[in-house]
Amino acid sequence: MNGPLLEVENLVKDYSLPREKLLRAPGKVHALRGVSFTIQAGRSLGIVGESGSGKSTLARLVMALDRPTSGRVRLLGQDLHTLPREALRQARRDFQMVFQDPYGSLDPRQTVERIVSEPLAAQGESRTGQHRRASEVVEAVGLRASDLRKYPHEFSGGQRQRIAIARALVTRPRLIVADEPVSALDVSVQAQVLNLMQDLQAEFGITYMLISHDLAVVHHLCDDVAVLWQGRIVEQGPPERLFAQPRHEYTRTLVAAVPEPEPPRPSPLATPFESRG
Ligand code: ADP
Ligand code: MG
């Protein structure tokens, strides 16, 4: 396959709101207004945008968890939204998702082994195969095979997100869509999880679509960033370019929201006016 791993073409998603009056047409939310981009295999695209800009809608359409109003999602050349059910089930091996909330996204009544193996079970893998692969992936994310017997409440937020990443890895996917994977975590833990995702990419050649409202987070991991604003991509480019020359007004606010690195301590000889601030 020579084309891009993921091609998103002119995606539109309208949500109908409940009808307020019997005879009036129901209102609509235009969550996505024609979004297009491609991701080459082994690369990572960051999607940044404020709350309500359509990021999670985009993630759900790319994951084929919901249908677009119009437009196409092609993974490895296959149009996911026109695939017959059984073919889509098999194709799901190639794309997995990591959600924001490491508490809500893991079923508290299931062992880590059940949680991590679930995508393999859905692919019809044998019990032995599931166990072998689950042990491999928990170790790949820095946990122990003995952790498979435990339950989610026995882990910290950062460890739970490692479990979620292990589950996403278990089918050896080509693409991982991560929707705000570190926003619920402490800043110190965020860097550890992002570094892990980066290491896994180097090791397994994974392609990421990483969603965040935080430009610093996507900068950490992504070669290319698309800024989503009111359901449209308003600009796209390498993160360094967006930081240096933001073109859209909203990108400027995002750049301004990223804390600057600590300024160097002024030398004792400098006058206060020569030091920063
Ligand atoms: P983000 O993830 O960037 O915060 P979302 O994709 O969740 O944005 O939402 C985009 C817009 O679509 C918002 O206006 C949101 O209220 C609306 N929306 C999202 N999901 C639904 C739904 N199931 N029904 C109706 N409106 C929705
Ligand atoms: Mg969201």
- DSSP class of residue 108? T
Give the number of the atom of ligand 1 that is nearest the alpha carbon of residue 50: 3
Per-residue pLDDT tens digits for 44-57:
999 999 999 999 99
Residue nearest to atom 24 of ligand 1 (CA): 15
Per-residue pLDDT tens digits for 130-145:
999 999 999 999 999 9
Residue nearest to atom 14 of ligand 1 (CA): 52
For residue 57, count other CB atoms closer than 10 A to its CB. 21
The CA 61 to ligand 2 mean position distance, Å, reads 13
Query: Which residues are within 8 A (CB) of 117 and not within 5 positions of it... i.e. 6 or more apart?
Result: 125, 130, 131, 133, 134, 170
Mean pLDDT of 68-92: 97
Q: Which range is least confidently modeled, 17-26, 92-101, 201-210, 218-227?
A: 17-26
Q: Which ligand is nearest to the CA of 33?
A: 1
Kindly list the distances between the CA atom of residue 62 and the CA atoms of 91, 120, 150, in Å, as whole numbers in the listed order.
12, 20, 32
Q: Which ligand is nearest to the CA of 60?
A: 1
Residue tagged 């804390």 (tokens): 259
Per-residue pLDDT tens digits for 261-274:
555 555 545 444 44
Pairing of strands 44-48, 224-229: parallel
Per-residue pLDDT tens digits for 196-242:
999 999 999 999 999 998 888 999 899 999 999 999 999 999 999 98
Task: Judge contact between 231 and 31, C-beta under 8 A.
Answer: yes
Ligand 1: which of 57, 230, 254 to mutate, most ligand atoms within 8 Å of CB?
Answer: 57
C-alpha triplet 148, 150, 151: angle, nearest 5°: 120
Distance of CA 36 to the CA centre of its chain: 17
Ligand 1: which of 13, 32, 56, 65 to mutate, most ligand atoms within 8 Å of CB?
Answer: 56
The CA 52 to ligand 1 mean position distance, Å, reads 6
Tokens of 51: 């709350």
Pairing of strands 207-212, 44-48: parallel
The CA 11 to ligand 1 mean position distance, Å, reads 15
147-168 burial: b if 16+ Cβ within 10 Å, else e: bbebebeebebbbbbbbbbbbb
The answer, as to whether pTM is greater than 0.85, is yes
Q: Which range is least confidently modeled, 15-29, 152-166, 221-235?
A: 15-29
State the greatest distance between any 2 C-alpha atoms of the chain, in Å, as a whole number: 76
d(C-alpha 93, C-alpha 41), whole Å: 16
